[in-house]
Structure 1
Amino acid sequence: MQELLAYLQDPELVARFQRRCGLYLAEGSTRDHDKTRPANGAPITGEKPLGHMDGSWDHQDRNSNCRHKQDSVPVEDCRKPRYEVRNWLLHYLFLLSAGLGHEVFYITCLPWIHWNLDPFLCRRLVNMWTVSFS
């Protein structure tokens, strides 16, 4: 059982599924620190490190995977990897299906169903969504 759980938690499963669906890691998006930062850790592009941003966002987000040292130099490169889409049909299908879980969809869909189709159907949908989301 422990082997099955370890297999299911393998990030390579997600990567293989993405490649089968036509999403590939773009060339040149590897996390090579020597090309993106000099030896002192300062960014080459002239941008400030994440720990020294102007405004109220001068702290690290708790949800971030990027960790900073004491001198605000990132331990790892915090840039998101870039992907190349080779199957646009599946890409837009997945974007559409992901959009069905957004609050904006519920805010627009439920009143439309209530006003244009059937209020009883809308109440049943709200009850089903409430049970399934809790």
Structure 2
Amino acid sequence: MAALQSGAPAPADITVHGQSRVLEISFNDGARFRIPFELMRVYSPSAEVAGHGPGQETLQTGKRDVTLTGLEPVGNYAVQPSFSDGHDTGIFSWDYLYFLGSQQDKLWVDYNARLAAAGVDRDAPMAEKAGSSCGH
């Protein structure tokens, strides 16, 4: 995961809103986003979710009520959230959080389209994966 590029927006403030289940993040360029925990979880940059390359993504379901149980800094370029469903392997760079915040309307549309294409409901429990090759 690359560090921020020179001149890229950096976070000025991060607040976890547990009750409303959103991560509020403001950047030094004036942008402010309220990113739902569910969106963070279904778009986690981890190998478990994103896979090891294009086409290897695992569609996440049943994450509507997921909460953050922890949020740890990773150097000065990212945070690593721990989610209530046990997922804690995604490292969210400032660039990636900015992307999630600025593109969340499109990401929700894409997520719902992927759910529809797979014929699964957003609230369905995750199917068990047999023989996961990345040790998750």
TM-score surpassing 0.5? no
TM range (shorter): under 0.3
Rg comparison, structure with higher value: 1
Task: Give the TM-score, by structure 2 length.
Answer: 0.22
More strand by share: 2
TM-score, length-scaled by structure 1:
0.22
